[in-house]
Amino acid sequence: MTRAAEGDEERQTHRVDAGGEGASGPRAHGVAKIAGVERLPEHQARVRVSYDAVTDAYVERVHDELSHKPLDRALLTAFAEQVQDQFGAGASVCDAGCGPGHVAAFLAALGLTVTGIDLSPAMVTRATALHPELSFEVGSMTALSAADGRWQGAIAFYSIIHLTSDEEIRAALSEFHRTIADHGLLLVAVHLGEHGDATVHADEMLGVPVDLEFRFFDLEWLAGEIAAAGFQVEARLVRTPYPGVEVQTTRGYVLARRVGEHVAA
Ligand SMILES: C[S@@+](CC[C@H](N)C(=O)[O-])C[C@H]1O[C@@H](n2cnc3c(N)ncnc32)[C@H](O)[C@@H]1O
């Protein structure tokens, strides 16, 4: 069950089929303050509370997911190989919106030094418990604490999907551009909208009450925004969902290389 946000004509409401039953979710008001994030916009606070609540169910759902997703593994492997070709073995990358760290662990097994960052303290706690050899932090990709050029690459797998305004998407891309060294790589994965860009509200995920928005992207628009943020787009992939493995949405991926200065959007 989902409900529409009142008074926002751009938002559409669908069932977000993440496997659960409906219920009213928690809602955090105003600007929240959490460790690692000084000031959190209201809707990011709702994302944090929601993922804190759904952590157990999410871990159960995704812990083995990559082993059934060959194209995702192929893209992550290409990302890891190209980053290490450019910067050497053990290059440092960020997994932004890392969830419980399964993608970070896959990249680490390929030789990268990975730091996972997530808005949800519960996800970070779980990721640390599951992968104690890796580094995880609470933070928001729209206001990263990392220094300029800290990473040789970054991935954002199904995490910019919770940034609902174009300005927020641009803020995250600007942060990736600031924190990725020149010639470093960015790999982004999103859900694609059937009719272009759309945002939906969900009040349940995997049977757990939540209160958050999911954005479905137009891949050409996203690739254009990535280019405008100062990256050269090297590859795009659109794939149909793997039946029985994941939510049945069309998936889109963009692989891009940081070049030069940020171009204001
Ligand atoms: C759908 S899950 C994806 C997790 C993991 N990347 C994967 O592929 O399974 C989205 C994750 O992004 C995190 N997230 C959402 N907004 C974020 C933000 N602004 N900064 C950092 N993490 C965020 C959520 O807490 C959640 O763990």
Task: Retrieve residue 130's tokens.
Answer: 């599951």
Q: What is the rounded distance in angstroms from the CA atom of residue 243 to the CA atom of residue 232?
A: 32
Q: In this structure, which residue's CA is closest to atom 9 in ligand 1?
A: 99
- What are the pLDDT digits (tens) for 33-87? 444 555 788 889 999 999 999 999 999 999 899 999 999 999 999 999 999 999 9
Q: In this structure, which residue's CA is closest to atom 18 in ligand 1?
A: 140
The alpha carbon of 252 and the centre of ligand 1 are apart by a number of angstroms equal to 16
Place of tokens 């606070």: 45
pLDDT, position 16 = 37
pLDDT, position 39 = 72
pLDDT, position 1 = 30
With a 6 Å cutoff on the Cβ, whether 123 touches ligand 1 is: yes
* Candidate from 34, 47, 170, 175 with most ligand 1 atoms within 8 A of CB, to mutate: 47
Q: Is the pLDDT of residue 25 over 80?
A: no
8 A C-beta contact, residue 202 and residue 2: yes
- What are the pLDDT digits (tens) for 212-261? 999 999 999 999 999 999 999 999 999 999 999 999 999 999 999 999 76
With a 6 Å cutoff on the Cβ, whether 50 touches ligand 1 is: no
- What are the pLDDT digits (tens) for 44-58? 999 999 999 999 999
- What are the pLDDT digits (tens) for 120-168? 999 999 999 999 999 999 999 999 999 999 999 999 999 999 998 999 9
Q: What is the rounded distance in angstroms from the CA atom of residue 32 to the CA atom of residue 255?
A: 33
Q: In this structure, which residue's CA is closest to atom 26 in ligand 1?
A: 99
* Candidate from 39, 55, 61, 119 with most ligand 1 atoms within 8 A of CB, to mutate: 119
In the chain the domains, ranked by start, together with CATH numbers, are 33-258 (3.40.50.150)
Q: What is the rounded distance in angstroms from the CA atom of residue 97 to the CA atom of residue 86?
A: 24
Contacts for 149 with CB less than 8 Å, ≥ 6 apart: 179, 180, 181, 182
